[in-house]
Structure 1
Amino acid sequence: MAHLGVADLENTAQAAYGRELRDVARLHGGSKKGVYRLTLDDGTTGVAYVWRASEDYWPEHEYDPLFGNASGRDLFLTAHTALSEAGACVPRLVLVDRDTIVVEDLGGEFLEKVLDHDTEALERFWDDLQAVHQRQSARYGRPSALQPTDAPPVPDVILQRALNHLDACCERVPRIAAERSSLETELRQRHSLIEPRTSYGLIHGELGPDHVLVADGRPVLIDIEGAMFFDVEWEHAFLELRFGPHYRPVASLDPQRLSFYRLAQYLSLVEGPLRLLDGDFPHRDAMREIADHNIERALAQISR
């Protein structure tokens, strides 16, 4: 996949800053959009998010209506507003264009690089996230497209999604195929124990420590397009996986939802990376490692 260069983004830089563009560098990450550092003729920098088909590494796929294709300028903007209003720090907008947004370049480190020694930033992250999760809605979904009141309950949505992921995993992973019946039984049993709920918290949607920058001691959320109102246990099942010993448990969470969503997350983190590898995503070893780890996690969830 060819990356954008100075000639492709010089008009964007001129519109955003009124200056000439000296250099462009595509930053690590970004499977659905291009993330580029813009270096101007005076040495200052900005970051451009570019949503074009040429920047999307994901193969063609029949997306589910809620989670599918969680990318794009409009989703970024609605998430930016919702998270800001909830008390989280997000990058300041510099320019909004048709398929491109330019934000401030915060520099700094990713939270994953400072977990072991920047306890102040980590604690502030957990406090900010708690404030985000306390932002409530009576309906779930994207902030700009909440689901109707008669929509299926969130656990039902996740059950169907997880069963679809299980089917896809069985086609690719013989060890999962051999345990298909046990894994489906486990999903259905955990789902059956969940009590109804009528209020949902705002979540980021894919919040690992690689999606948090630390700038001047403040955690800043990035890759925010997946933000929605949902069961916060869905986010916590991902947080405990990604933060490991640095995860901060929350006593008010529903343990039945957490148990169910853990298994659903593991299956998602097998199916998604393996599907991404069908295309030309460059960081292939990392994706394969994610899939392999979550194969083990999913199989370990089976009751013996």
Structure 2
Amino acid sequence: MRPFAYLRARTAAEAVREHAAHPGAGFLGGGTNLVDLMKLGVETPRLLIDISRLPLTEVADTDGGGLRIGATVRNSDLAAHPAVRGRYPALSQALLSGASGQLRNTATTGGNLLQRTRCLYFQDVSKPCNKREPGTGCPAREGAHRDLAVLGHSEHCVATHPSDMAVALAALDATVLLHGPDGERTVPATDFHRLPGDTPDRDTELRAGELVTHVVLPPVPDGAGSVYRKARDRASFAFALASVAAVLSVRDGRIAHAALAFGGLAHRPWRARTAERVLRGAPATEETFARAADAELAGARPLRDNAFKVGLAHSLAVDALSELAADG
């Protein structure tokens, strides 16, 4: 590991100020992804600004009936929070399906959002990788890509975003609050992560020096339930081959509200807008759910070894929506 300096920030403003004053600095929350990448030589920050003790640990109701989550809330604490379990079960289920119990006890809300979109080639500094070193190529396209993207990828990168939590946040229409050198701003969770395009080295829409301070969930739509489902190679501590977060409400047998997001299929959580247009106002039947999944996944561009992901995602979506419809 290369030498680096360490600073414990007392306020969000101090953290942002010190980041701006030290090019090459990085923020340290739980460190479950950053420290691993530092050990591999992928990340080489000159200064680590520890934000883990900032007063961002509260989960509180908003005036409008939503929920405001501090960026340093631990994943395990958020998954177990009564308001999350009761009103946003898809978020609790997503958190509990991620990583391991030990990592969930350390990982934070903000850090989970900011973990790198990655593949095996990104983590191996002896291999070329456009995400790690722009312009060197993407060996995954012709190499080991079974676990990688079938939607939204480009010739420059086919990596998939690993977060389960972020998929649930996308379906729940969450908003990410940022504090930076130019003040505060908000970004919808659906827009926070980027597709690779020509700049796969940029994972998010964060500007230089910005810090995630909160995530805000809107009120649950009337009568809506939510669920998260994940398919993976082993029962725990594995990234999704495909996953889905679904939000659904049904009135008089027809779909009044529908939101759907896929994980494990793209460079970012994939909000299924095409499927949602098919669902809204339609009969809440398995046939409708299958037609919506077909419409969304028609744009998939699988590679040599990962076409199975399309059918897997289709089945997960239909099962999740059918479960919610059956629950009323």
TM-score by length of 2: 0.24
Structure (1/2) with the larger helix percentage: 1
TM-score by length of 1: 0.25
